Amino acid sequence: MPVSHSVPYLAGYNRIADSLGRAVETTLLGKSSAKAALEQAQKRLEVIWSEK
């Protein structure tokens, strides 16, 4: 496929993908606005990376 790409090799990529997936899910289910969901995802990731 001309538009396909491999998953990036990046430490913590699974956590990034999980946080973004949760943001998309809460937005699609109408539980949150896209902006609020992404802000929450950013906060989660900052907590995860500050622990290292």
Q: Would you state the pLDDT for residue 14?
A: 87
Which residues 6+ apart lie within 8 Å of 14 measured at CB? none
Answer whether 44's CB lies under 8 Å from 26's CB: no
The pLDDT of residue 48 is 80
pLDDT along the chain (52 residues), means of 10: 82 87 96 96 88 65
The pLDDT of residue 28 is 97
pTM: 0.73
